[in-house]
Amino acid sequence: MNFQNTLAFAKQLDEQDELKQFRELFYFPIINGKEVIYFTGNSLGLQPKTTQDYVVDELEDWATFGVEGHFHARKPWMPYHEIFPRQLSKIIGCKENEVVVMNSLTVNLHLLMVTFYKPTKHRYKIICEAKAFPSDQYALESQVKYHGFAPEDAIIEVKPGEGEHSIRQEDIIAAIKQSNNQTALVLFGGVNYYTGQLFDMKSITEAAHSVGAYAGFDLAHAAGNVELHMHDWDVDFACWCSYKYLNSGPGGVGGVYIHERHASNTELPRFAGWWGYTKETRFKMDKGFEAIPTAEGWQLSNAPVLSMAAHKASLDIFDEAGIDKLHTKRRLLSGYLHYILNDLNSRQKEKLIEIITPADDNARGCQVSMLMLKEGKKIFDELTRQGVIADWREPNVIRVAPVPLYNSFEDIYRFGEIISSILK
């Protein structure tokens, strides 16, 4: 599309946007009496106006029924988590028996590694992206140490080329192929949290399998953001959080995908709890764990219903909008943001912003990361003062993520105008 850096053009795109009314379904924070331009849906998604009712319903049912709410609540609590697979399977691209909502992200990553990282003397390495999200780095490091290996030896990070910001696909594949059957696990983010690079998960999975390793993905920045086909790509496992693009509230409940060939294998080792136990006989409370033969077999505890209620409120909105329409709008939004930033740069005597997110919209999601070449923190603070909520990452990156459910093209145009005025 031929974009233009004018308010009229931005408004015209908004007018044509089939999803434009969804913005009304969310609360925007207010700064100086005005709704902010909110670009941090990659960090904490906005609150749907319906969330409160979903949570209050559960509080009411708790007041009304006490413990009987497990059976008599409007959405009975005992099988509460079972309301999610239908909706999440569309977002994650998997079968319903391959997905379960539970715990939080880093906890789930550890639980999945109990199953999928069982190193031996010869096969113990993990291949991951350089500059993975710190929690993932700590998880990998501590898992490796737990098994008696040294992180420097066991963890192979694939880095961007000299002077580059994105990791080349061929470098990832080469690193996997070169690992001489020493690799136990390939674990990448779906979208890197810092650069916004979207990895080719299908090829990474193929390469991992070709050397006899498992392939897993942390979808924190991918779930609800980019097209995912976990099952068709043959990915072994994945996990994500629900509070970023999935708008389910701070610290919201996480989710897990396990390919059905593993999910149905009740012999696979895991750390077990009563909620992963075969439902028919769970309450006999017999000795000896018998796993549910689906992703549910990895559950430990009964459902955190209040947090799940907020998750449900958000997923109902995703359902209504339709994931395909969201992807179409996402590409346009981030394309427009790229265009505006490039236009801005071209008007400066000296380049001030380097976009470190891939320009190819098949290699990125909503997020565009701006490496600030001068006065980055000052510009960022001024943006905040003027009502733009973006995200600062040391040493000098501003991350901006227009999301299709509630951001508009006008948001992006106005953002460009504000930066432009700050640069003057």
Ligand X SMILES: *Cc1c(COP(=O)(O)O)cnc(C)c1O
| Identity of the residue, 185 or 241, whose beta carbon is nearer to ligand X in the bound complex | 241
DSSP state of 401: B
Strand partners, 125: 183
Least distance from ligand X to the Cβ atom of residue 191, Å: 9
Stretch that binds ligand X, among 83-91, 178-186, 217-225, 350-358 (CB under 6 A): 217-225
Residue number, 126 or 220, with CB nearest to ligand X = 220
The span of 53-61, 66-74, 174-182, 218-226 binding ligand X (CB under 6 A) equals: 218-226
Q: Which residues contact 128 (CB under 8 A, 6 or more apart)?
A: 136, 140, 155, 156, 157, 158, 186, 187, 188
Q: Which is nearer to ligand X, 165 or 244 (CB)?
A: 244
366 binds ligand X (CB under 6 A): no
Residues in region 78-137 near ligand X by CB under 6 A: 104-106, 133, 135-136
- One residue of 48, 93, 119, 189 binding ligand X per CB under 6 A: 189
Nearer to ligand X, 241 or 332 (CB): 241
CA 2 to each of CA 13, 332, 363, 401, 407: distance values in angstroms, whole numbers, following the listed order: 12, 11, 20, 21, 20
392 touches 380 (CB < 8 A) = yes
Is the Cβ of residue 205 or residue 242 nearer to ligand X in the bound state? 242
Q: What residues numbered 236-255 form the site for ligand X, per CB under 6 A? A: 241
Least distance between ligand X and beta carbon 128 (Å): 11
- Of the chain, the end-to-end C-alpha distance in Å amounts to 29
Q: Check residue 221 for interaction with ligand X (CB under 6 A).
A: yes
Q: What tokens appear for 213 in the block? A: 């390793």
Query: Is 314 one of the binding residues for ligand X (CB under 6 A)?
Result: no
> Encoding tokens for residue 338?
């790229």
Q: How many CB atoms lie within 10 A of CB 121?
A: 7
By the rule CB under 6 A, 220 interacts with ligand X:
yes
Question: Residue 193, interface with ligand X (CB under 6 A)?
Answer: yes
Minimum CB distance to ligand X, residue 82 (Å): 23
Per CB under 6 A, which region of 215-223, 268-276, 345-353, 356-364 contacts ligand X? 215-223
Q: How far is the CB of 189 from ligand X (least distance, A)?
A: 5
* CB nearer ligand X, residue 104 or residue 195: 104
Question: Residue 130 Cβ, how far from ligand X at the closest point, in Å?
Answer: 13
Residues 6+ apart with CB under 8 A from 215: 185, 186, 187, 201, 204, 205, 208, 209, 234, 235, 236
Q: Where are the beta strands (DSSP E) in 130-225?
A: 155-158, 183-189, 214-218
Contact in structure between 368 and 42 (CB atoms under 8 Å): no
Considering only CA atoms, give the Rg of the chain: 22
Separation CA 382–CA 373 (nearest Å): 16
> Total residues contacting ligand X (rule CB under 6 A)?
12
Residue 92 C-beta: closest distance to ligand X, Å: 15
How are beta strands 353-355 and 391-393 bridged, if at all?
unpaired
Rounded Cα distance, 228 and 245, in Å:
14
For the bound state, the minimum distance from the C-beta of residue 314 to ligand X, rounded and expressed in Å, comes to 16
Considering the rule CB under 6 A, would residue 310 count as an interface residue with ligand X? no
CB 198 within 8 A of CB 226: yes
From the list 218, 296, 391, 411, which residue makes contact with ligand X (rule: CB under 6 A)?
A: 218
Q: How far is the CB of 278 from ligand X (least distance, A)?
A: 28
The residues binding ligand X (CB under 6 A) are 104-106, 133, 135-136, 189, 193, 218, 220-221, 241
